[in-house]
Amino acid sequence: MTAAQFAVFGHPISHSLSPRIHHAFAQQFGIELEYRTIDAAPAQFDAAVRRFFDAGGVGANVTLPHKAAAFALAGERSITARRAGTANVLTRLADDRLAAHNTDGDGMLRDLTERHGVDLRGRHALLLGAGGAARGVAWHLLDAGVQTLTIVNRSPEAAATLAAAIGEPARAPARGWDELDTIDSPDLIVNATSAGVLGVALQLPLTLLRSRAVCYDLSYGKAATGFLSWASAAGARGAFDGLGMLVETAADAFALWHGRRPDTAPVYQSLRRPAA
């Protein structure tokens, strides 16, 4: 019997930890599956996804730069996907349509609050970036009780668009990058920009950390190094990358596909453990 087929789409994607994570989850339940990476350039993404599902694929994770395209491909979209306008999970339905879901916000919250013990209630948060990654987590931060969420982007228009979509100007104002110096002591700074992935320095003022904020990067590994180094140098109360978020979002996708949610702690710990 052929094992169920799963994949993660991205460009580039060879660095992805998703195959390792999903195979570790499958071992917890004795499930046989195949999970692979598929590198698809933006122009080839739609065709590559259709080939995968036409060949019997059951589910796929989607990462940069394809999350908006994945959302557009779907015939059915979850509330979280519709709110963000992006998807990081695609599932084949019985009628061969694709269902889109976005697990980014839930995964980030679980990592921040449960793994790292950060209480978000009443906090003043600063969200760096206004693209797909930011849209995937913005509403979740507000739902979790953040008092204010200031959205800052190099393009002020993009920040204003996200703020307008949220529709709570008092709680979620928009600012331009040149206004960072005017923002008053956030308790939490979330980096949702693609700067680390692209190898570009963010150039953040040290004055942002007057209140010793907690800093969190949605990226992990090398892509998060610059932001976390800045946070540590500036005296952050805590500085975390998004590896735990990756594991939690993968677990949510696994639960969608298999009906059982795996234990994320041992998988996260194994990925944090230095290579021998």
pLDDT computed for residue 205 by the predictor: 87
pLDDT computed for residue 15 by the predictor: 87
- Which of these, 148, 64, 103, lies nearest to 249 by C-alpha position? 103
Residue 108's identity, in one-letter code, is M
Same domain for 146 and 214:
yes
Same domain for 178 and 211:
yes
pLDDT at 276 over 70: no
Q: How many domains does the chain have?
A: 2
Same domain for 256 and 233:
no
Same domain for 162 and 116:
yes
Which of these ranges, 115-119, 141-145, 202-206, has the smallest mean pLDDT?
Answer: 202-206
Same domain for 250 and 229:
no
pLDDT computed for residue 27 by the predictor: 98
Same domain for 109 and 97:
no
DSSP calls for the chain:
-PPEEEEEEESS-TT--HHHHHHHHHHHHT--EEEEEEE--GGGHHHHHHHHHHTT--EEEE-TT-HHHHHHH-SEE-HHHHHHT--SEEEE-TTS-EEEE--HHHHHHIIIIIIS----TT-EEEEE--SHHHHHHHHHHHHTT-SEEEEEESSHHHHHHHHHHHT-TTTS-EEEGGGGGGS---SEEEE--SHHHHT------GGGGTT--EEEESS-THHHHHHHHHHHHTT-SEEE-SHHHHHHHHHHHHHHHHS-----HHHHHHHHSPP-
In this predicted model, which residue has the larger pLDDT, 228 or 199?
A: 228
In this predicted model, which residue has the larger pLDDT, 113 or 273?
A: 113
Same domain for 143 and 73:
no
Same domain for 216 and 110:
yes
pLDDT computed for residue 5 by the predictor: 98
Report, as residue numbers or ranges, the catalytic residues: 67
Which residue segment(s) compose the domain that 114 sits in? 105-241
Same domain for 231 and 110:
yes
Answer whether 60's CB lies under 8 Å from 31's CB.
no
pLDDT band for 1, please (50, 70, 90 cuts): low
Same domain for 132 and 58:
no
CATH number of the CATH domain containing 211: 3.40.50.720
pLDDT computed for residue 14 by the predictor: 87
CATH number of the CATH domain containing 19: 3.40.50.10860
Share of the chain above pLDDT 70, in %: 99
How far CA 135 is from CA of 83, 142, 159, 240, in Å, comes to 8, 12, 10, 20
Same domain for 112 and 26:
no
Same domain for 160 and 140:
yes
Q: What is the mean pLDDT of residues 53-64?
A: 96
- Which of these, 133, 140, 115, lies nearest to 268 by C-alpha position? 115
Share of the chain above pLDDT 90, in %: 86
pTM for this entry: 0.94
Q: What is the mean pLDDT of residues 68-74?
A: 96
Work out the mean pLDDT of the chain and round it to a whole number.
Answer: 94
pLDDT at 202 over 80: yes
